[in-house]
Amino acid sequence: MEMEMEMRAREDIKAGQDLTPPLPPLTFALHHQSPPSSDIRAALRLLPSLPSTSPTPRLFGLLTNRDRLMSSPDPDVLSMIRQGAREMSTHGRPNLSNDDVALEEALLCLVMTNAVEVQDNNGRMLGIAVYDHNFSWINHSCSPNASYRFSFSHSNTPSFSNHSNMLIVPAFFNDVQTQGESDVCSTSQLKQGCERDGPSIIVRSIKRINKGEAVTVPYTDLLQPKAMRQAELRSKYRFVCCCKRCTASPPTYVDRTLEEISAYSLELNSRFDRHFDRDEANQKLMDYMDEVVTEYLSVGDPESCCKKMEHLLNQGLLCELSETGEGKVVLNLRLHPLHHLALNAYTTLASAYKIRSNDLLALDSDNDAHNLEAFNISRTSAGYSLLLAGATDHLFQSESSLIASAANFWVSAGESLLTLARSSGWNLFVKPGKPVSNSSLETHKCSKCSLMDRLEVNRPAQNADFGNISCKFLDCISNMTRKVWNSITYSCAHLQTYKDPINFSWLSKSSNLWDLQAHCGSSIDEGSHFGSEGSISRIEAQVYTEEVKVSIFQLGVHCLVYGGYLANICYGENSHLT
């Protein structure tokens, strides 16, 4: 019987503590090198460490999952493993026959099901790495209590003969408690990471963990709905997740929200309340989004991408769907403002509008008309970044394991707002004064919350007071947002539909989540916003003042500091986000 492995806390652990020292990889491989497969190259680096014997279910203490993968009903998976193993044998053991590659198959399967994607500080995928049991025995949860980060500095990587910095210990079990310990935990099998030039990994708590409690990390994107998470885990790691989030009945608020859609019947001119195929509806919405993004990446037209994305958010998608027991029905599908596709749309729109603004300035930065248009577009980019941060934070308040996503989006929003506040486009509206770019983030003071000063004194102590600090920061951010939101959203009809991009509490209280009009500002005629031929209208001159510019700068600083505070819990003080 196969043993179940996990790592548990050896003592009570607070949020924001490193659970391991930097752990070097067993093997790693960068993307875009030859041979073409990173999996194959990573597996090849392990081959010299193994004897030329038949593979066991575990190598280096890690499950190979060879039997599961080789019995996969997917012929593509089987073909990939067999071809990859033969390619490995030509490099590692060229004298073998094509039928004697069981060891290569096992190593390749081990890499495929145990490797993690290595990212740099900017989130770019660099390659893959496999780590020893101290990391690989940490199980997955969709509501994890730990996260991990990568370190590319090797000067401080300790010799792993010293386990004094390990706050987690191995545990294993089956129906017969502790049976088979010598088979699983023998010294020969538990090979430790030895690739000193590879990326090290550090595990860190994001919640309180009690002594003896299982430590878990996410193997997938936690902002995906349950069905997508389950499909990815089943496809890549060959297991069905049974964590408390996946087994919750009824589903958690976050999982309901991430896949919530509303349907309207054009024939009835009202909301469609009868049953229809929601899986089919979600697939059609995903297909449309994928088509827009694919076109954007291949053609490089950010303006077209923005129009199509905003049309989906504003007008929905007209689809013919299967109605339960009634054949086909034509419906207009609308995304919940916090649907996972809506969050993806906000991300894409923030990026596409930023690119549009930069492209205009690159054409002629001295042209006032270009400068004005670029300034208007950069406001919209900042608006979508702030909306994404507020939306994700709302979900984070219900599911604390989303802290890493919240940290990233708050930092991005802060950077976008600071860029907007420092834009030369303000010179078209206000007399040049002391530029906010001369303002130091470190010396920024807030008379309302005084949190910047407190956070610099003792960050570890602040982690214990997370709830209080988070509430005060969000109150301050929300108050600042109300002062500048109309200015930021002045040229974007969709962003104007949100009176407050930070406060989404009305969504969980409303009996009709789609009655947005009660929570939206009045529609503004975009044609009245701007003066003719790049000139400045009277309304614009009133909206964009020195006071607004300074308030946007202050809001950006708060978003940046709050995101850094969350990132410190996830990644530690040396993170690029803190």
Axis-axis angle for helices 102-114, 75-92 (nearest 10):
120
- Listing DSSP states for 140-164 in one string gives E-SS-SEEEEEE---TTPPPTT--T
**In this predicted structure, what is the pLDDT of residue 432?**
64
Q: Which CATH class is domain 4-219?
A: alpha beta
Specify whether the CB–CB gap between 302 and 350 falls below 8 A. Answer: no
- Residues 281, 287, 292, 293: is their CA dihedral positive or negative? positive
Domain boundaries, the chain: 4-219, 220-247, 250-360, 367-578
Residue-wise pLDDT tens digits, 203-261: 999 999 999 999 999 999 999 999 999 999 998 888 999 999 999 999 999 999 999 99
Residue at token pair 């502790």? 178
Alpha helices in 316-367 (DSSP H): 340-363
Axis-axis angle for helices 403-421, 546-571 (nearest 10):
150
Closest CA to 478 of 494, 445, 500, 511: 500
**In this predicted structure, what is the pLDDT of residue 278?**
85
CB atoms within 10 A of CB 140: 16
pTM above 0.85, yes or no: yes
**In this predicted structure, what is the pLDDT of residue 463?**
61
Specify whether the CB–CB gap between 103 and 54 falls below 8 A. Answer: yes
pLDDT over 70 (residue 408): yes
Residue-wise pLDDT tens digits, 64-106: 999 889 988 888 889 999 999 988 888 777 666 666 888 999 9
